[in-house]
Structure 1
Amino acid sequence: MVVVGGTSGIGLAVAKAFRDESAQVIIASRSASKLAEAKQLLGSNTEAYELDFRSEETAGEGAMGLFKDLPVSNAKQAFDSKFWGQYVTVRAALPYLNDESSITLTSGVYGVRPPQGASTLASINSAIDGLVRGLAVDLAPIRVNVVSPGIVDTPVYSGMSEEERDVMFSVIAQQLPVGRIAQPDDIAQSYVYLAKNGFTTGSAVLIDGGAHLV
């Protein structure tokens, strides 16, 4: 099992979840130091490789803003990061896959219910969801699915002060039917399910604590 971006946040939780399933785990990241830290956490059986790709964390930087105000360059950079980053990664992986392989991408709840100022991220996430449906047909019998998380407590918010982050999470949690913010482990099991269920393809698993309902 290869987890691109498996050094922190959801990616690291996914790597741990597959390790707990006794899978051979390979993690990839641009950061050698993060790879070393993650490998220590995951155990010596984990393989780690440096890979130059754009992470989901980078995709969110500068992508929020009203459509009329957000520079086009910011929108293009966000697409390059999250959409084209995953697109290119799938292309690069194809020679190593077989008919029993499974691919799972990551989009986000903004593709279903965008708040004000999230038109760019809504477009990116919707594009990923559409790509998955197309790939499920083009690459069959390889299975292709997507996990669509809501707000998750990950290092993507590390640029905020702890107080700011706590206030934001508290406000959002009060709006959600589940009454709390997701942790990476809440999301990770969906990737395991999609890898193990051989009859699931072209599907989007929405894990947002009910955000699309409010």
Structure 2
Amino acid sequence: MRRRDSGEGDFAGRVAVLLGGGSGLGRAVARLVCAQGGEVILGGRTREKLEKTAAELGCRASWMQVDTGDSRSLERFFSRVEQVDFLFNTAGDYVTGPLRDLSFSEAESAFRAKFWGQYMAVKYALPKISQDGAVVLMAGADGARPTVATPAYVACNAALEGLARGLAVELAPIRVNALSSGAMDGNFWATRKSAEARLEAFERYSRLNVLGRVGTEAEVAEAVVFLFLNSYTTGTTLYVDGGLSMR
């Protein structure tokens, strides 16, 4: 790790690879990393989003297109990356719903896109990850406390928490943790759900947790940065869920 000079940020000389970094939570993390002197490499499928976010962040940001559901695409992506100090992946499209309603392919989509996408990203990034680096896996608070009928998605999030523990043992001293967030008011709900669905979900979630509100992408991004930087935290799951998981 490069020694930081006086006045430099916590991420000076470090590179964070953020898959899904063109929007939403990934973009919020990118802003924090760049604000603290780091560089970011944004990955995702949509060129326009990546270009726009990289331009907004400035000279410390670069981007490449990648499909995190395609192992060959991930392998090509990381073959072009020289340095990885931090890895975080929020990319992936999948279907959620009750067992009774989903086809097997739909139910399996969360594992294909969210679990195996993150697993493969770590695998192909590993030769480039610095020994004092960190991986943060994106799980979800409903892996610990389901609140709606989405059993395959719940299982996927629980599996990602287990994957973090397993990788923490295998990859040490590289640190690996999972982040399990609750509902966030941000890009997903603004672009993929109707206003009515958003209101209903946020009201329900606010009733179920301790703080009585949903979170923001900025709040969850701060937790990601903590897991990037804390040098004595590994193999754990950080719940950023307003207290949902303990009710």
Normalised to the residue count of structure 2, the TM-score between the two structures is 0.80
Residue matched to 1:47: 62
| 1:112-146 per-position Cα deviation (integer Å, ceiling 9, x unaligned) | 00123121111101111111100001111111111
Match of residue 124, structure 1, among 140, 156, 179: 156
Match of residue 107, structure 1, among 91, 116, 139: 139
Counterparts of 2:243 and 2:235, CA distance in 1: 22
Residue matched to 2:199: 166
* C-alpha RMSD of matched pairs (Å): 1.7
Which is further off, 26-35 or 157-166? 157-166
Shift of the alpha carbon at 1:101? 1.6
CA contact (8 A) 1:56 1:81 kept: no
CA contact (8 A) 1:57 1:156 kept: no
Residue matched to 2:117: 85
Higher strand share: 2
CA contact (8 A) 1:110 1:118 kept: no
Shift of the alpha carbon at 1:108? 0.3
Counterparts of 1:88 and 1:57, CA distance in 2: 12
Residue matched to 1:143: 175
Residue matched to 1:71: 103
Which is further off, 168-177 or 96-105? 168-177
Shift of the alpha carbon at 1:58? 4.2
Q: SS at the partner of 2:178? A: strand
Residue matched to 2:78: none
Q: SS at the partner of 1:48? A: strand
Counterparts of 2:91 and 2:96, CA distance in 1: 11
Match of residue 9, structure 1, among 5, 24, 41: 24
Match of residue 223, structure 2, among 171, 190, 199: 190
CA contact (8 A) 1:7 1:28 kept: yes
Aligned residue type for 2:57:
L
Gap runs ≥5 in structure 1: none
Counterparts of 2:141 and 2:105, CA distance in 1: 23
Counterparts of 1:103 and 1:14, CA distance in 2: 13
Q: SS at the partner of 1:130? A: helix
CA contact (8 A) 2:19 2:90 kept: no
Identity within the alignment, %: 34
Q: SS at the partner of 1:156? A: helix
| 1:44-102 per-position Cα deviation (integer Å, ceiling 9, x unaligned) | 3211111111475644x42222x233221112122100000000000110111131121
Which is further off, 182-191 or 169-178? 169-178
Normalised to the residue count of structure 1, the TM-score between the two structures is 0.92
Is residue 205 of structure 1 aligned with residue 220 of structure 2? no
Which is further off, 86-95 or 20-29? 20-29
